[in-house]
Amino acid sequence: MLSKNLFVWGDSIARGVMYDEMKERYTVCRETFDQALKTLGVNVRNYAKPGCTSKAALDILERSAAADGAVAAIEFGGNDSDLIWKDVAETPDIFHEAVVTISDFKASMGRMIEKTRALGMHPIVVTPLPVVAERYLKWISRGLDGSAILKYLGSAQYIYRWQERYAYAAMEAARDAGCPVFDLRSIFLRQRDFDSLMSLDGIHPNPAGYQLITDTVLNAWQQAPAAN
C-alpha cells in the first residue's frame, strides 16, 4: 500500500461534483475516492476546487508546507482547455485560445511536479476525463448562439480532440519529469459505453462514473508498493 497520506490538487472532478438531473443543479457525489480511502486509514487532504486550473492551483501549492512521504495527486486539464464560449458564439470566425494555453498548462504541470517533490511528496499526474462532445456542445450552447459555436468548431468532435491535447500534454509533462501517471482517461475510454458514466453536461461523471473512479483508485492504492 502507498503512503498513509494523500494530498489532492485538482478541479471539480476530484471533488466529486456531478449534475443531478432530478434536482436540476450541481451536487457532490456522496461516495467518492477520498471517502473510500479514509476507510483504509489514509489521511486525505483534498485541495481540489471546482473551476480550478493548473495555474491557479500552482499559486496555492506555492504556499503549501512540506509533507515528507505523502502522495500528491495532480489532476487538471478540463478547465485549462476550456474556451470562453460567449466570446466564441459572438465571434466564430476568429481563433479563440483556451483559458490556459497548452504550453502554459504543460509548464504549470511540470512546476507542480517539481514543487511537490521539493516538499518531500511523491507526485502522480492524473489524466483528465474524456468529454462526451455532443452532450457538452448542447450544454455550453444554452443561452448562446449554438449554430455560431458549431460553425467555429466545425463539428462537435472538435471539442473532444481539443481537450484530448491537454491529456497528452499532462502525460508529456509527467514523462519529462520522470513522474508516474494515473491514466484515468484511458480507464473510462476502455468502457464499452463511457457516455453512460457521464452527467448530462458531458464533462462530469455521474454516480456510476464516480464509482468506477473509486474502485480504480482503491485497487491501485492497495496494489501499489509502499512509497519510500
Written as one string, the DSSP assignment of 136-185 is HHHHHTTTS-HHHHHHHHSSTHHHHHHHHHHHHHHHHHHHHHT--EE-HH
How many CA atoms lie less than 13 Å away from 48 in the CB half-sphere? 27
pLDDT tens string 49-91: 999 999 999 988 888 888 889 999 999 999 999 999 999 999 9
Residue 35: inside a domain: yes
- Cα–Cα distance between 108 and 106 in angstroms, integer? 5
Q: How many CB atoms lie within 10 A of CB 199?
A: 22
Residue 191: inside a domain: yes
What is residue 140's predicted lDDT score, i.e. its pLDDT?
97
- Cα–Cα distance between 161 and 30 in angstroms, integer? 31
Structural domain for 148, as ranges: 5-223
Residue 156: inside a domain: yes
Q: How many domains does the chain have?
A: 1
Comparison of pLDDT for 105 and 192, the residue scoring more: 105
**Mean confidence (pLDDT) of the chain:** 94
Give me the mean pLDDT over the 158-180 stretch: 97
Q: Is residue 2 pLDDT above 80, yes or no? A: no
pLDDT range class, residue 228, cuts 50, 70, 90: low
The CATH number given to whatever domain includes residue 216 is 3.40.50.1110
Residue 82: inside a domain: yes
* This prediction's pTM: 0.93
pLDDT range class, residue 213, cuts 50, 70, 90: very high
pLDDT tens string 91-122: 999 999 999 999 999 999 999 999 999 999 99
Residue 228: inside a domain: no
Give me the mean pLDDT over the 121-141 stretch: 97
Cell of 207: 454516480
Comparison of pLDDT for 34 and 63, the residue scoring more: 34
Residue 57: inside a domain: yes
